[in-house]
Amino acid sequence: PRYFALLPAAGVGARMAANGPKQYLTVGGKPMLRHAVDAFRAAPLVNHTYVVVSPDDGVIDAVLPSELDGVTVLRVGGATRMDSVLNGLRALAGQLADHDHVMVHDAARPGLTPALIARLIEGVGNDPAGGLLALPVVDTMKRGAPGADGASVSAATVPRNGLWSAQTPQMFSYALLLRALGSVADANAITDDASAVEMLGYAPRLIEGHPRNLKVTLPADIRIAEMYLAQKED
Ligand code: CTP
Ligand code: MG
């Protein structure tokens, strides 16, 4: 089997509110995107890594020099994360075969390691539904509702048992992922790839990830990511 990585990196980082897209912020000594790219380049089973950036991206060539082996930049980013992933998959038609495995990974998760990539590949095995890294939820979950004075109130406690927080990478066969994302009616309605696959009736495997693989979303997440990056491995 062949394994490929596809990194959506065409977001603007609105919630980070930095001076430019967050995937290029320096985290632990290098641009955030480089951490994830280097994890895939160091993973022995990964054949090639594709990075999807926005067509007008002016930074990527400095972050990923063209002589870097094992990486190709696709300038086909779209309006939503889903569009960026789907455009990237479509750009690879002819290069990837239906049964090739594609690992989709957020460029904004710099804590990924080759060990976690290996754990995902091992955990999914040849399950046709694919799978994803995820963490069992540890907090007590509340269903919020608007209260009488407009403030949020807790309408119910959602049983935490069985709940997982999704991480990436999420791995599926090229054909399944293309079909799943191609059938989603509203790109804004999904926030990960597994949800599109679930809509086709598949149940992807949940493989235990690691807190170090957090998604950097808000400014405070940078320091948490740097703390994990300073620790060598899991
Ligand atoms: N992404 C993308 N194309 C988009 C939107 C997001 O490739 N149109 C990528 C981001 O670059 C990031 C990943 O999807 O690597 C996860 O998205 P998110 O954390 O939401 O990043 P942003 O969309 O950039 O941040 P925000 O939602 O705060 O604007
Ligand atoms: Mg976003």
Question: Of all atoms in ligand 1, which is nearest to the CA of residue 9?
Answer: 11
Query: Could you give phi then psi for residue 61, rounded to 5 degrees?
Result: -65, -30
CA distance 25 to 108: 10
Counted domains in the chain: 1
52 close to ligand 1 (CB < 6 Angstrom): yes
- 190 CA from centroid of ligand 2 (Å): 11
CA 31 → CA 28, 41, 55, 103, 222, distances in Å? 8, 16, 19, 21, 12
CATH code at position 93: 3.90.550.10
116-157 pLDDT per residue, tens: 999 999 999 999 999 999 999 999 999 999 999 999 999 999
Question: Of all atoms in ligand 1, which is nearest to the CA of residue 108?
Answer: 15
35 close to ligand 1 (CB < 6 Angstrom): no
- 155 CA from centroid of ligand 1 (Å): 31
Structure pTM?
Answer: 0.97
218-229 pLDDT per residue, tens: 999 999 999 999
Inform me whether the pLDDT recorded for 35 exceeds 60. Answer: yes
CA distance 169 to 205: 12
pLDDT-derived band at 233, boundaries 50, 70, 90: low
CA distance 172 to 174: 6
Structural domain boundaries enclosing 208: 3-230
Q: Kindly report the average pLDDT of the chain as a whole number.
A: 97
- 150 CA from centroid of ligand 1 (Å): 30
